[in-house]
Structures are given as structure tokens and as C-alpha cells.
Amino acid sequence: MGDYPLLNLFWTMLVFFMWVLWFMLLFRVIGDLFRDDDVSGWGKTGWTVVLVLLPFVGVLLYLIVRGKGMGRREMARLQANEEAFRAYVRETAAGSGTAGSGTGGELARLADLKRRGDLTDDEYERAKTKVLAGV
């Protein structure tokens, strides 16, 4: 390391990280190209040929021509994923779809009955044990 100056080390690191950045951008462009349903098979083939034969020019051209739509498609995909996740959470939190609303709902009803005085402490404990055991 003694004969490799610090400025050369910084230059080497910069070049290395620029290559990493370049490949990330290239894969993002290719991913967007193949996820887009508005482009025909021939259009995807043409863009792929341009990206393979002229990689730097092809990526820059793709970003100029389709960059705005690329951002919109990414946002739409993220929003769809978030909505699917929220729907899954709502469905899971609602219970398994059987009568009642799952263990949490049963325990809340039992606690309410006990608080109103409709269940004794002994009845409450037995019912709670049955609910938690899944009977």
C-alpha cells in the first residue's frame, strides 16, 4: 500500500462505486422494461438489443424517453403492494372467517360479560381457558 497514493485509492473507489451504480441502473431499466405491459414483445426486444449493443447510450435513451413513466409505474406498483398488504392485515386481524371474530373477539366479549356481572370469576376463567385452548 506504500506505493499506492491515497488519491489513487479514492479514484479507484470512485470508479468501483460508479460501476456498481451503473449496474443497479441497468438492472432497474431492464426490470421496468419487462414489467411494463404497455410495451409489445417487439418493443421489448428492440429496447433489449439497444441496451445490449449500446449499453450507456441505451440506458440514457431509455431514461430520457420512458423515465417519467418509469417513476409512475414504480409508484403504482408500490401502492398496489401496500394495498395488498393492508388487505392481508385486515383479513388476518378479522380472524379466520369462522363464527365470531377470532380469539381476541371472544376474550373481549368474555371480559365484557364479566364486567357487567353476567359471569362469575370461576365461569370467566373456565371460558377463557376454553377459548385460549381453541375448543
Can you say whether the dihedral through the CA atoms of 35, 36, 41, 43 is positive or negative?
negative
Grid coordinates 470508479 are at which residue? Answer: 15
pLDDT in tens, the chain (135 residues): 567 788 899 999 999 999 999 999 999 999 999 998 888 999 999 999 999 999 899 999 999 999 889 989 999 999 999 999 998 888 877 755 444 457 777 888 888 888 888 888 888 888 888 888 876
Cell numbers linked to 17 = 462505486
Closest CA to 23 of 55, 48, 61, 53: 55
Domain boundaries, the chain: 1-66, 100-135
- Going from the C-alpha of 42 to that of each of 45, 62, 63, the distances in angstroms are 5, 15, 19
**C-alpha span between 55 and 29 (Å, rounded):** 11
Give residue for cell 392481508. Answer: 88
Whole-model pTM over 0.85: no
* Per-position DSSP letters for 17-71, written without gaps between them: HHHHHHHHHHHHHHHHHHH-SSS-HHHHHHHHHHHHHSHHHHHHHHHHHHHHHHH
